Structure 1
Amino acid sequence: MGIVKMPSYRDYWKKDLRYHLIADVMSLKRYEQIRQFLHFVDNTQQNDDRYFKVRPIFEVIRQNCLKIEEEHRYSVDEMMVPYKGTRAGNRRQYMAKKPKKWGFKIFVRAGVSGCVYDFIPYAGEDTFRNHYFTEYENSLGVGAKVVIALCQSIQHKPAVVYFDNFFSSLELIHLLRQEYGIFSLGTIRENRLRGCQEKLPSDKELIKKGRGSSKQIVHDSF
């Protein structure tokens, strides 16, 4: 069903649309029974995990991702799992710049090949369940903690991680290199430059110099 998509799951059993690779496996009635009663956990248990009902299968998938032979260059970013329903409450997110704007937001570490090696489902204050940080790492903010959590599972180093300005800060880049042996590169917001902007030309000045102009500043105190 994930490969051969139809408007409704019942279409796979319709006479004029029947898809035998699915319809021959079981009857529509049997499929609907399984679909109705399928659970991954005991619903009578009490748990404050916002992904309690799907956490077991999340973790199985994640552990399989971690077993894949690693690359040495990765990107960290948000990924949307499309969902337009209303039963997910505030777990459903809206991201205007994504191709699929409504759905579940998942932070992902992927390789150059596009293969996913680790991920964290966004859950508000409960996003970092089962992840542990030092006091200093906690002080760096949510974006930095996402990168740190996803980089903690990198086994083969040295490695390089790329990320955008939501995650990036000078403190994070320094921490990854000193504490985790990971090099990183990312765009950065002006309010996180810690005074570097005073030594850099303004946007207007760079525009006047023409396309491709750049300025480099090196700091060796780290």
Structure 2
Amino acid sequence: MHKFWGVSIVAALIGVPCLRMCWERKSRYPLVADNLSRDRFYLLRNNIKLVDDNAVSEQEKQYHFWKVKPILKTVRKGCLENHRSTEVSIDEQMIPFHGKVKMKEYVKPNPEGLKNFVMANHNCIPIDFCMYEGKGKEIQSEKVPLPEMLDVGGRVVLKLSDTLTEKSSIYVDKYFTSVPLLDKLLGDRNITATSTIMLSRIPRSIRLEEDATMRKTRGCLDHVVKNDGNQQLPNALITERFIWLQQNQVLSQLKNALGGPKKRKSTLKFLAHVL
């Protein structure tokens, strides 16, 4: 079985159009073909079973990935042992899959597959992940209660941040960002977050300059500062900023931190940053 798992990992890393090419004469890959024959590999893959169905309770079966839970636990254990930095990035990952399961999602760039939320350090090494079970399945943090107005993206960030230490910094995109999430991270965990934010998630009371006005002056920005009297940390600030980016150096820094814009003239709207 060790050879089977090793061949599966190597074959996935090669990225061949068809897996059988690893055993064909013209495209043979020795590291795969010399360790396990093609027929033996497919026989194991089609018949492998990780859990005993009779030993799993009905409550455990509520977890949609219960049939592969042992291997998910093993992989997550390895991720948790990786080097952890104070600056991490959280984003979604699509695992290509064309079978018939209720957890399958349809998201670009892969038309269909399983959605996985991954947290990685500054070297792009995964340090934690959370498989998405689909609509209707709640994602709960094990350490802090969730705000009522928090969406799926915010719940994912809170759950993955369970393993982070105080004064860590999280980088996410607009799918995850909301003001309640930023308040929760800073107030309960002393964790800061940097991200883009959707216009619809900015409070209506905030009035920022229009795009046309901002573009008239290079490097122009507008900001709004929130200092809530009920905030646990009185010096906590939440700012929404508009930045017109035209410097490759700034774009490169954002790209390294967020996986963000390419090195060209770009506009990053409403950079939400908890200081």
Interval containing the TM-score (normalised by the shorter chain): 0.7 to 0.9
Q: Report the more deviating stretch, 132-141 or 61-70.
A: 132-141
Partner residue, 2:210 = 202
1:30-109 matched pairs, under 5 angstroms = 30-44=40-54, 45=56, 47-83=61-97, 85=98, 87-96=99-108, 99-109=109-119
**The residue matched to 1:81 in structure 2 has which SS?**
strand
Task: In structure 2, give the amino acid aligned to 1:128.
Answer: I
Task: In structure 2, give the amino acid aligned to 1:176.
Answer: L
Q: Unaligned regions of 5+ residues in structure 1, if any?
A: none
**The residue matched to 1:197 in structure 2 has which SS?**
coil
**The residue matched to 1:212 in structure 2 has which SS?**
coil
Give 1:190 deviation, angstroms. 2.4
Q: Distance in 2 between matches of 1:113 and 1:216?
A: 31
> Would you say 1:218 and 2:225 are equivalent positions?
yes
Query: Are the aligned partners of 1:161 and 1:184 in contact in 2 as well (CA < 8 Å)?
Result: yes
Alignment TM-score, normalising by the size of structure 2? 0.69
Q: Unaligned regions of 5+ residues in structure 2, if any?
A: 1-10, 232-275
Task: In structure 2, give the amino acid aligned to 1:92.
Answer: K
**The residue matched to 2:31 in structure 1 has which SS?**
helix
Q: Distance in 2 between matches of 1:101 and 1:77?
A: 17
Partner residue, 1:171 = 180
Task: In structure 1, give the amino acid aligned to 2:100.
Answer: A
Give 1:89 deviation, angstroms. 3.3
Q: Distance in 2 between matches of 1:172 and 1:218?
A: 16
Q: Distance in 1 between matches of 2:37 and 2:145?
A: 56
Partner residue, 1:184 = 193
> Would you say 1:142 and 2:149 are equivalent positions?
no
**The residue matched to 2:226 in structure 1 has which SS?**
coil
Q: Distance in 2 between matches of 1:160 and 1:210?
A: 31
Q: Distance in 1 between matches of 2:226 and 2:32?
A: 61
Give 1:149 deviation, angstroms. 0.4
Deviations along 1:134-182, one digit per CA (max 9) or x if unpaired, are 5543442222111100111113x31111112221112211211111110
Task: In structure 1, give the amino acid aligned to 2:96.
Answer: P
Q: Distance in 2 between matches of 1:195 and 1:10?
A: 56
Identical residues among aligned pairs (%): 27
Query: Are the aligned partners of 1:119 and 1:150 in contact in 2 as well (CA < 8 Å)?
Result: yes
Q: Distance in 2 between matches of 1:164 and 1:158?
A: 20
Q: Distance in 2 between matches of 1:164 and 1:180?
A: 20
Alignment TM-score, normalising by the size of structure 1? 0.83
Give 1:123 deviation, angstroms. 0.8
Give 1:100 deviation, angstroms. 3.0
